[in-house]
Amino acid sequence: MVQKRGQSALEFLVTYAWAFIVIAIIIAAIAYFGILRPQKVLPDRCTFSVSFDCIGYTLNTDGTFKLKLKNNVGSTITVSDVNVVSDAGVDFACVLTDVPPENWGLGDVRDMEWTGCDLASQGFAAGDKAKVLVNMTYYDPKAGPDYLKLGFGDIFLTVT
């Protein structure tokens, strides 16, 4: 009688084990074929340090990246450098078409545009989600260029 109870318990556990194996195979197949791509489900977003508001952004397959920011630093600033890199820290090799804004007033909105961005080296194509990191070095004109500050942001967007 003890053996029958042990046998039924073992059969019970084996049945559940087979069920778990089948579920694991189904989840693996779904992930392998790309149905479970969280990047495709996540919305586009732009997050900057408190000093700047992100108003708009686009990344086109022709290698053009546009960004519209609002100055919330608390005073007029001068931007000395702006870099655009990928999530892996690789430079996009973009060229900023305009000189970084000088005397960017509090509350003013500025457009920045980069051209010639190498999206192929990053593996981005139309419809893909891309994460772009923007690092901006700026200073207060009253204090001078010896007192640099860093503003940074990350943008998660769909390549159009």
Amino acid at 111: D
Write down the pLDDT at residue 85.
87
Same domain (yes/no): 67, 19: no
- Mean predicted confidence (pLDDT) in 15-43: 84
- pLDDT (tens digit per residue) in 113-129: 999 888 877 778 888 88
Tell me the average pLDDT of the chain. 86
- Mean predicted confidence (pLDDT) in 73-90: 86
- 8 Å CB contact between 155 and 124: no
Same domain (yes/no): 29, 87: no
Same domain (yes/no): 95, 31: no
Write down the pLDDT at residue 36.
67
What pTM does this model have? 0.71
What Å distances lie between residue 54 and 27, 84, 110, 125, CA to CA? Answer: 37, 15, 10, 24
d(CA 94, CA 154): 16
Same domain (yes/no): 29, 59: no
Domain housing 23: 2-36
Same domain (yes/no): 24, 46: no
Same domain (yes/no): 49, 94: yes
Query: What's the total number of domains in the chain?
Result: 2
CA proximity to 93, closest of 63, 124, 135: 63
Same domain (yes/no): 102, 148: yes
Same domain (yes/no): 89, 149: yes
Same domain (yes/no): 80, 128: yes
Same domain (yes/no): 128, 151: yes
Spatial neighbors of 138 by CB under 8 A, at least 6 apart, are 73, 77, 78, 79, 80, 104, 148, 149, 151
CATH of the domain at 76: 2.60.40.10
What Å distances lie between residue 121 and 26, 30, 61, 97, 152, CA to CA? Answer: 33, 28, 12, 21, 23
